[in-house]
Amino acid sequence: MNQLVTVAIPTYSRLNYLKEAVTSALAQTYPNLEILISQDPGKDGLNKPIQAWTRALMSQNPNVRYRCNSYNLGLSGNWNALADAAKGEYLVIIGDDDRLLPNFVETLLHATKLDAQVAFSNHYIINSQGERLAKETEQYTRQYYRDNLPPGKLSQPQMWVWRNVIPMSAALLRTKDVQRLRFKEDLNTPEIELFIRLVQQGVGFVFVPEYLSEYRVHNQTATATGLYNERLVKYLLPIAVPAEVEPYKRRLLSHLMVNAVSRCLIQGETKQAREFLRSEYYPQVQKKTPRSLIQRLCARIPAVVGYPLYRLVYKLNKQL
């Protein structure tokens, strides 16, 4: 186990959190690491305190590298930039507000010896102060089916990947796979789409049930303003799956579809909203609810009327 591993950390303007993320990367028990930090600029340019702190750290530690983007690439674009710049054979991408436990890299890299190219684990949920949240951690583990996921190499990886069991901040991937396939840059939750393409190409996945990282939940996350579900649905709909995987694809898309229609209507994309409403993946149980009836009405009438009407209804009732 002497492969170089890159711990990649995209950042923007949260220096205090970034310090915690970098410190956790530097504390890894696995020695052959590089910590690669990639900074997006804001409207007024790069955050100067982050730039100064990172450059000072780099001068003190040869394992730390820093790069800055000439314009704001966004979450997925910055992930691709990190993958392109990574020197490691394996890649870990965490948020600048997340933390790794000391044995994260060593444990997951060892797990890849089971003829797998993606290794992932459970993770703790922490709050804005960095305190572990036991109830939320248990809830996330159940919600993403990792409480019933057998440890070791996944024998039915397509089924599990479509169930969205893999947390990006608790995963280790081959760098060349990310460089080859790349994250879709119009998504702000691009990992599941990439994992689905990986599993379609026969990549092996291995699960380690230990809790090896900490994922921070707070109101300043990159997805706090909403998920781009309409874009994710467009990518996932045409993907063909075996019959035994179809129920899991249907469950995932049904979960995303109502919000995807809502986002289309809010943006005036009524044609796309109608296509989603006609899809077999739009959940049947929703079709007679007030939410669905309003969506169908606003999608059918002329866009010059339906678009402002839906925005008004949405503003009055954020449940739509």
CA distance 170 to 126: 14
- What tens digit of pLDDT does each residue of 205-245 get? 999 999 999 999 987 665 555 688 999 999 999 999 999 99
Name the token pair of 292: 């669905």
State whether residue 7 is helix, strand or coil.
strand
Residue 112 sits at φ, ψ, to 5 deg, of -65, -15
- What tens digit of pLDDT does each residue of 136-182 get? 999 999 999 999 999 999 999 999 999 999 999 999 999 999 999 99
pLDDT surpassing 90 at residue 291 = no
- What tens digit of pLDDT does each residue of 16-48 get? 999 999 999 999 999 999 999 999 999 889 999
Q: What is the pTM of this model?
A: 0.93
Element (H, E) at 50: helix 48-60
CA distance 170 to 185: 21
CB count in 10 Å sphere of residue 40: 21
- What is the pLDDT of the chain when averaged over all its residues? 94
Reported as a pLDDT band with limits 50, 70 and 90, residue 55 is very high
CATH number given to 5-216:
3.90.550.10
Interior angle at CA 16, CA 138 and CA 12, nearest 5: 95
Task: Give the residue extent of every domain in the chain.
Answer: 5-216, 229-316
Within the chain, what is the greatest distance between any pair of CA atoms?
63
CA distance 87 to 200: 26
**Stretch 264-286: mean pLDDT, rounded?**
93
Q: What is the pLDDT of residue 221?
A: 64
Q: What is the pLDDT of residue 202?
A: 95
